[in-house]
Amino acid sequence: MSRYSRIIGWGMYVPERVLTNEELSRMVDTSDEWIRTRTGIRERRIVNGPSETTATLAERAARAALDKAGLPATALDMIIVSTSSPEHLFPATACIVQDALGATRAGAYDLSAACSGFVYALAMAHGLIVSEQADTVMVIGAETLSRLVNWQDRNTCVLFGDGAGAIILQASETPGGVLATVLGSDGSGAHLLSLPAGGSRKPPSFETLRNGDHYIHMDGKAVFRFATRVMAEATREVVEKAGLTLDDIALIIPHQANIRIIETSVVRQLHFPWERVFVNLDRYGNTSTASIPIALTEAVEAGRLQPGDYAVLVGFGAGLTWAAALIQWGPEVPEVTWWQRLWWHVLWYRWSRLRSLYRRVRRRVFAFYFRGREQVEQWRFTSPPSPDGKEKQGEE
């Protein structure tokens, strides 16, 4: 019997701090009119203080998705976090989210494919489910790119915002869900959009800090040309792969990078009606890998997707990478009682924090205990030095 992967939960979270174009114009040589006409962005959300990080945004979006699906975190088999702004090079941000959710049965890993990453992660989750390696997988796209941009560079700082979006895929015998995916890359353009320093090639140094190599670097014109070509090609390919036509598609949800890219690649090249394209770029800016799940969540909540509708999720990003997925909407959302919701989505998270604290304390106690035991054993098995200066080994 065939297995399908269907979306049963969705959620998003964006920081409360709003940064408008007018505020940016007081920070860098730009204006509201200049930003809107070239990008379509009016404002973006920015993390406020050290307490908000990629992991905390991801956790909030994940909670919303679990709440929508009516599932406890213990139902998850895998958590995949797509991000270009992880908490650390390692450990994976997904592991931090797994601990915060109390998803005790879930494996966790990060995926890095820049702005295409969410669709890449969706394809990986779909593969795990149809190959029967997992039944329930959470996919999260989360970014805090405001901490990676140079706020004196108007070509990049006006573009990016922070946020997170999440979905839950679950195995089903009912046809639908993820029907086709297309993934691609062209590493010859890796230098066109990058964060040069911070990895093993350019570890942090005075020179990298002085040169601004820890900020996002982008060749905007080259990326624009690449994006407008590949977005249209990937959309056509995934629709054909699913055995459909563009007339069958109820909604295209593109990566929210630039309004002119969306207009050129989706509307003009595909001759696709603008009213069947979902855009929220004006309110959030480019949230990279989080942009598609945030847009998907808002599209569903706004009634833009109905059961049985076909939708295309398509993006591009650094790498260079591109990705598209065709889904048939029709979530199978179970009924959840009030007491289940109270336990799973309120009390459970508090219990998870206590459980995490307990495990940390226990690990420290064990480390202290065994360190003391090691010192005792070393003393017992090492006799005092002999008159000739040599130690004698062995227990008396």
Residues with a known catalytic role: 115, 255, 286
**Count of all residues that appear for the chain in the document:** 396
CB–CB of 105/74 below 8 Å? yes
Q: What does the DSSP 8-state code read for residue 206? A: H
- Rounded (10°) angle between helices 291-301 and 117-130: 80
- Give 215-220's long-range contacts (Cβ < 8 A, gap of 24+): 215/148, 215/149, 215/150, 215/153, 215/156, 216/145, 216/148, 216/149, 216/150, 216/156, 216/160, 217/156, 217/193, 218/155, 218/156, 218/192, 218/193, 218/194, 219/191, 219/192, 219/193, 220/155
For residues 212 and 208, give the distance between their C-alpha atoms in angstroms, rounded to a whole number.
Answer: 6
Which run of H or of E encompasses 82? strand 78-82
The DSSP secondary structure of 308-338, one letter per residue, reads T-EEEEEEEETTTEEEEEEEE----PPP--H
Give the Cα separation of 100 and 352 in Å (integer): 7
